[in-house]
A and B are shown apart, each in its own frame.
Chain A
Amino acid sequence: MNPEELYLSLDEPDNSDHLWRYSPWKRIHPTGNIREIPSNYKQPNINLSFLDGSDVPNEVSITKEYSKSMKNSFSDQISMSFIESVSQDSKFTFKVKNNTVLEQPVLLRIDSESVNSAINLSIEIGRHCEFELITLIEGEPGWFGLLRKANIGEGSIINDVVVGQMKSGTLLRVDAINIGKDSQVKAGSISSGSEKTKADLRYMMNENGSNLRVLGSILSAERMHIDHHIEIYHDAPETYSRLDWHSACGGNSRTIGTGMLRVSDGSKGADAGQLFRNLLLSKKAEADSIPELEVSEHDVVGCGHGTANGPVDEEQLFYLEARGFSPDDAKDALIAAFLNTTLSEMGSETLHQWLAENLQDELKTLTT
């Protein structure tokens, strides 16, 4: 079945499915008519370089072809088949050869300019690679779809950060990441643009010894609606995962974080945890969290989750004001520190500095 046929054969998802509970598919679909598959979507501009603008070596490439070796059975079919349908002319493979070690972060810039577009990106990372990848989504489209399916090779150490900084419209992002044996992955998400964001991020650990950290720094202001669903599957022994998700919500915005941690039977020694923290900054903002846990293996190191919501701490504000900060500066500093807790864990100091500088303007919109 091709993607269009698959998409059209599917029923509208029910809101009892937590993936679609707060952002029904009708609201995310570009036209709202879910039986329609728009045909005029274009390819966004894509540029691959090091963070300082220099060229990447030959071991790293992006080509306009599509890898057929991707396993994606754990993705949601609605959003995946829809992006596949509208990105027929926009299929790319990002490839990194075995044993590639890079000192500088690699920047994959995707700019949709002002047209509706989508991209179907397959990511193939070889064995024993070590590098950092930033995927930056920019532009002012009405709608943009990003599908990333990745295979991360055995023993690789990867920091993979996606920055959503579209100035308008709806972003639909679907990730299906397979994490190889003994590999270590940090998956960071920064969301600060687009009016609506719906992200469905799934990570599969079906080989021994894989290690995953999922980190989120979410800034929602004005009338933004930012919905992230994160699923982590432990399907092999001795696997480790941690999810830390920090959202700061101002204006009339709403942020949603739903997480599913699945530990299947046989995943002995699994160690899994997830934590959602929400900072509410205005009377009209709302933060919703559903951190779910399904554990079918009893011989685990531990599986836990937590969520916490609250305002900016009055005592901390008082402390900073007593040391000369104005009330606004003190609040800004605490919000920045809250988001920086996860931001600083996403990768190297170079990466962190670039991210922090990149987000300066967005931080201001939270408090103004």
Chain B
Amino acid sequence: MVVNMADSDAREAVGDYKAGWHDPENSTIRFDAGLSEKVVRDISELKNEPEWMTEMRVKAFKHFDERPMPTWGNMSMLKQIDFESICYYLRSSKATENDWEDVPEDIRNTFDKLGIPDAEQKWLSGVTAQYESEAVYHSIREDLEKQGVIFLDMDSGLREYEELVKEWFGSVVPYSDNKFSALNTAVWSGGSFIYVPKGVHVELPVQAYFRINAKNMGQFERTLIIADEGSSIHYVEGCTAPTYSTDSLHSAVVELIALPGAHIRYSTVQNWSANVYNLVTKRGIAHEKAKIEWVDGNIGSKLTMKYPSVILKGEGSHAEVISVAYSGSGQHQDAGAKIHHLASNTTSKILSKSISKDGGRGSYRGLVKVSPKAENCKLNVVCDALILDEDSRSDTYPTMEVANPTARCEHEASVSKVSDNQLFYLMSRGHSEEEALALIVNGFFEPFTRELPMEYAVELNKLMALEMEGSIG
């Protein structure tokens, strides 16, 4: 491992970030930094994509180029993104392997350290591991494959199931949705493509792990999940990156389509290092009686702007967003949720929890909209925030637009500090102040962690205990 002065400075700045090591960069293809139509066309050509995809990329690039930066959110941080200093495509392996032994050794070591192969054997239906711009490893359990479940990296999905991809790609998040969805559509690489046939229930979760290793890297994966009628799937994603003193950009787009009666749960534990801008567009469409759940944990990154959305298009559909955010020194977690009730008898629930510490800033930004034709909708939004010290900040920006008189909508939010009574209670039973605080924080996050697979929940609790170290005194 090469550690130079800038790295050690950065490490000091971001504290004890466990996934902050990096491997020597060993790329087989690395594009020069900067973005142009040529870069976009080169990526498409390299991947040998069909004409329609190339054209979509180019249109998206033009839209990105013309569209101004958002005039809301943390504009001072957004202004610091230098799009010309970012590398938009970097490949470190020759192909996507389906045997760990065939993955290049240095990359394999990285994922070994992150515990991915171990997890796959124990509790997953399938795994995809993305390193920089491309998936390096991919596997799915044979029995699921036999039932017709498609689980591929997005590039292979486009090659092998072009018609299916053409039908759904960009149907939920068009490139013109926002500046960063345009950027993603222009330069996307990697991500997952999943199709679950009618009536098939994928019992164990499938997992994708995204790792950025290089400096000034942009990772733009694209994920498309289609759950056909009456099927179900749980998709889990994790993300880490090394600690550098220069910034990287992660700008993904995730599209979920839950056809009638289907159920998709999408869980994320985002633990990017504190030099990564995480600007992600995630949206799902739920048809009749379908259910979409986003379980979203934001622990790392410099600036996260992420508002998982659900369009409740079919009657009786349901959406849930459970999110937690931890904002430490220099971090701004601007996360939230959006739900559009377009059909009658639709229900939704948003639970958002955030903790700000060491000058961090946590924001909840949400929108709930009930359209005039959506009768008897019910929705509930709860946001709770804890501020742990005097340098930190918490904001809540919820929007509720209700155009149907039969809707029942509730929103509540509170911001508070850790209760002295709770600390005293735990300390009088033998816990140190630090342990007591970690227990309270884990308890605060409990509605989120109980929705995660157990291995993730344990890891998250450990991570939060680590973040709480040194909080007292």
Residues of chain A touching chain B, judged by Cβ–Cβ distance below 8 Å, are: 14, 16, 18, 265, 278, 280-300, 302-311
- Docked complex Cα distance between A163 and B408 (Å): 29
Whether the pair A283, B395 counts as a contact (CB closer than 8 A) is: no
Whether the pair B410, A295 counts as a contact (CB closer than 8 A) is: no
Across the interface, name the chain A residue whose C-beta is closest to B417.
Answer: A298
B416, CB-defined interface residue at 8 Å? yes
Q: Which of B370-396 contact A (CB under 8 A)?
A: 372, 385, 387-390, 392-396
Q: Closest approach, in angstroms, between the C-beta of B328 and any C-beta of chain A? A: 14
* Residues of chain B lying within 8 A (CB to CB) of residue A280: 402, 404-405, 407
**Number of cross-chain contacts by CB at 8 Å:** 112
* B 248-267 binary contact with A (CB < 8 Å = 1; else 0): 00000000000000000000
* Residues of chain A lying within 8 A (CB to CB) of residue B148: none
Whether the pair A16, B413 counts as a contact (CB closer than 8 A) is: no
Across the interface, name the chain B residue whose C-beta is closest to A302.
Answer: B416
Whether the pair A295, B402 counts as a contact (CB closer than 8 A) is: no
Whether the pair A304, B417 counts as a contact (CB closer than 8 A) is: no
* Residues of chain B lying within 8 A (CB to CB) of residue A308: 409-411
* B 402-435 binary contact with A (CB < 8 Å = 1; else 0): 1111111111111111000000000000000000
Q: Closest approach, in angstroms, between the C-beta of B367 and any C-beta of chain A? A: 9
Q: Closest approach, in angstroms, between the C-beta of B184 and any C-beta of chain A? A: 21
* Residues of chain A lying within 8 A (CB to CB) of residue B417: 298-300
Q: Closest approach, in angstroms, between the C-beta of A310 and any C-beta of chain B? A: 5
Whether the pair A303, B414 counts as a contact (CB closer than 8 A) is: yes
Whether the pair A16, B71 counts as a contact (CB closer than 8 A) is: yes
Whether the pair B411, A295 counts as a contact (CB closer than 8 A) is: no
Whether the pair A288, B405 counts as a contact (CB closer than 8 A) is: no
The bracket for how many chain B residues form the interface is 35 or more
Q: Closest approach, in angstroms, between the C-beta of A131 and any C-beta of chain B? A: 35
* Residues of chain A lying within 8 A (CB to CB) of residue B394: 293-295
* Residues of chain B lying within 8 A (CB to CB) of residue A296: 392-393
Q: Closest approach, in angstroms, between the C-beta of A184 and any C-beta of chain B? A: 24
Whether the pair B393, A310 counts as a contact (CB closer than 8 A) is: no
Q: Closest approach, in angstroms, between the C-beta of A185 and any C-beta of chain B? A: 23
* Residues of chain B lying within 8 A (CB to CB) of residue A298: 387-390, 392, 417
The listed residue with most B CB atoms (<10 A of its CB), out of A265, A281, A282, A298, is: A298
27 contacts between A and B (CB under 8 A): A14-B71, A16-B70, A280-B402, A280-B407, A284-B372, A287-B402, A288-B399, A289-B411, A291-B396, A291-B398, A292-B395, A292-B396, A293-B397, A295-B387, A295-B415, A296-B392, A297-B387, A297-B390, A299-B390, A303-B415, A303-B416, A304-B414, A305-B411, A305-B413, A306-B413, A308-B409, A311-B407
B145, CB-defined interface residue at 8 Å? no
Across the interface, name the chain A residue whose C-beta is closest to B401.
Answer: A288
- Docked complex Cα distance between A303 and B410 (Å): 17
Picked from A14, A265, A292, A302, the residue with its CB within 8 Å of the CB of B397 is A292
Assess A311 versus B411: contact at CB under 8 Å? Given A290-B397, A299-B390.
no
Q: Closest approach, in angstroms, between the C-beta of B93 and any C-beta of chain A? A: 42
Whether the pair A309, B402 counts as a contact (CB closer than 8 A) is: yes
Whether the pair A310, B408 counts as a contact (CB closer than 8 A) is: yes
Picked from B388, B404, B415, the residue with its CB within 8 Å of the CB of A293 is B415
- Docked complex Cα distance between A303 and B398 (Å): 15
Whether the pair A291, B405 counts as a contact (CB closer than 8 A) is: no
Q: Closest approach, in angstroms, between the C-beta of A101 and any C-beta of chain B? A: 38
Q: Closest approach, in angstroms, between the C-beta of B285 and any C-beta of chain A? A: 24
- Docked complex Cα distance between A283 and B412 (Å): 25
- Docked complex Cα distance between A288 and B370 (Å): 10
Q: Closest approach, in angstroms, between the C-beta of A278 and any C-beta of chain B? A: 7
- Docked complex Cα distance between A51 and B301 (Å): 60
Picked from A288, A295, A299, the residue with its CB within 8 Å of the CB of B400 is A288
B52, CB-defined interface residue at 8 Å? no
* Residues of chain A lying within 8 A (CB to CB) of residue B71: 14, 16
* Residues of chain B lying within 8 A (CB to CB) of residue A299: 390, 417
- Docked complex Cα distance between A291 and B365 (Å): 11
Across the interface, name the chain A residue whose C-beta is closest to B361.
Answer: A296
Assess A286 versus B400: contact at CB under 8 Å? Given A16-B71, A309-B408, A310-B408.
no
Whether the pair B407, A310 counts as a contact (CB closer than 8 A) is: yes
Across the interface, name the chain A residue whose C-beta is closest to B364.
Answer: A293
Across the interface, name the chain B residue whose C-beta is closest to A263.
Answer: B415
Q: Closest approach, in angstroms, between the C-beta of B420 and any C-beta of chain A? A: 11
- Docked complex Cα distance between A282 and B402 (Å): 12
Whether the pair A290, B402 counts as a contact (CB closer than 8 A) is: no
- Docked complex Cα distance between A290 and B396 (Å): 10
Q: Closest approach, in angstroms, between the C-beta of A232 and any C-beta of chain B? A: 14
Whether the pair A290, B407 counts as a contact (CB closer than 8 A) is: no
Whether the pair A290, B404 counts as a contact (CB closer than 8 A) is: no
Whether the pair A294, B410 counts as a contact (CB closer than 8 A) is: no
- Docked complex Cα distance between A305 and B383 (Å): 9
* Residues of chain A lying within 8 A (CB to CB) of residue B408: 309-311
Across the interface, name the chain B residue whose C-beta is closest to A306.
Answer: B412
Q: Knowing that A290-B399, A290-B400, A311-B408 are A-B contacts, what are 12 other residue pairs whose CB atoms are under 8 Å apart, sorted by A's residue number?
A: A16-B70, A280-B404, A280-B405, A280-B407, A284-B372, A291-B413, A292-B395, A295-B415, A298-B387, A298-B417, A299-B417, A309-B409
The listed residue with most B CB atoms (<10 A of its CB), out of A297, A299, A302, is: A297
* Residues of chain A lying within 8 A (CB to CB) of residue B404: 280, 283
- Docked complex Cα distance between A224 and B388 (Å): 45
Whether the pair A265, B390 counts as a contact (CB closer than 8 A) is: yes
Across the interface, name the chain B residue whose C-beta is closest to A256.
Answer: B401
Picked from A14, A16, A285, A291, the residue with its CB within 8 Å of the CB of B411 is A291
- Docked complex Cα distance between A285 and B406 (Å): 11
Across the interface, name the chain B residue whose C-beta is closest to A283.
Answer: B405
Across the interface, name the chain A residue whose C-beta is closest to B356.
Answer: A298
Assess A306 versus B411: contact at CB under 8 Å? Given A293-B395, A295-B385, A298-B417.
yes
* Residues of chain A lying within 8 A (CB to CB) of residue B388: 298
- Docked complex Cα distance between A310 and B385 (Å): 26
Q: Closest approach, in angstroms, between the C-beta of B383 and any C-beta of chain A? A: 9
8 closest A-B pairs by CB: A280-B405, A298-B387, A304-B414, A293-B396, A16-B72, A306-B412, A286-B403, A309-B409
Assess A306 versus B410: contact at CB under 8 Å? Given A16-B72, A288-B401.
yes
Across the interface, name the chain A residue whose C-beta is closest to B378.
Answer: A310
* Residues of chain A lying within 8 A (CB to CB) of residue B410: 306-308
- Docked complex Cα distance between A347 and B227 (Å): 58
* Residues of chain A lying within 8 A (CB to CB) of residue B392: 296, 298
- Docked complex Cα distance between A310 and B394 (Å): 29
* B 119-134 binary contact with A (CB < 8 Å = 1; else 0): 0000000000000000
Whether the pair B416, A300 counts as a contact (CB closer than 8 A) is: yes
* Residues of chain A lying within 8 A (CB to CB) of residue B72: 16
Picked from B393, B405, B411, B414, the residue with its CB within 8 Å of the CB of A307 is B411
Whether the pair A294, B395 counts as a contact (CB closer than 8 A) is: yes
* Residues of chain B lying within 8 A (CB to CB) of residue A294: 393-395
* Residues of chain B lying within 8 A (CB to CB) of residue A303: 414-416
Across the interface, name the chain A residue whose C-beta is closest to B412.
Answer: A306
Q: Which of B270-300 contact A (CB under 8 A)?
A: none
- Docked complex Cα distance between A270 and B372 (Å): 39
